[in-house]
Structure 1
Amino acid sequence: MSRTSVQIRELASRTGMTASAIRFYEASGLLAPAERAANGYRVYGDSAVQRLLVIQLAQRLGFTLESLRLVLNTPSGMPHDLIAQRIQTRLEEINTMQKLLRSQRKELLALSEQLEAEWTSGNCLTLTPLEPASASAQLELRATGRQSAI
Structure 2
Amino acid sequence: MKIGELSQRTGMATSAIRFYESSGLLPAAERGSNGYRQYGDAALQRLQMIQLGQRLGFGLDQLRELFAACHDGLPHDLILKGLNDRLAQIDKLAADLERQRAETLALRDQLTEEWAAGRCVALEEAGKEKAA
**TM-score (structure 1 length as normaliser):** 0.80
Cα offsets for 1:59-82 (capped at 9, x unmatched) = 000011111001011233421100
Cα distance between partner residues in 2 of 1:19 and 1:45? 15
Residue 118 (1) aligns with residue 114 (2) = yes
Percent identity, please.
Answer: 52
Residue 15 (1) aligns with residue 10 (2) = yes
Unaligned runs of 5+ in 2: none
Residue 64 (1) aligns with residue 59 (2) = yes
Aligned ranges 1:1-150 → 2 under 5 Å: 6-74=1-69, 75-128=71-124, 140-141=125-126, 148-149=128-129
**What's the RMSD between the two structures over aligned residues?**
1.6
**Highest relative contact order (Cα 8 Å, sep 6+), 1 or 2?**
2
Cα distance between partner residues in 2 of 1:26 and 1:114? 54
Mean Cα deviation higher: 68-77 or 82-91: 68-77
- Give the structure with the higher percent strand: 1
Could you say what secondary structure the match of 2:126 adopts? strand
Cα offsets for 1:80-100 (capped at 9, x unmatched) = 100010000001111111111
CA shift for structure 1 position 32 = 0.4
Corresponding pairs, count: 129
**TM-score (structure 2 length as normaliser):** 0.90
- Give the structure with the higher percent helix: 2
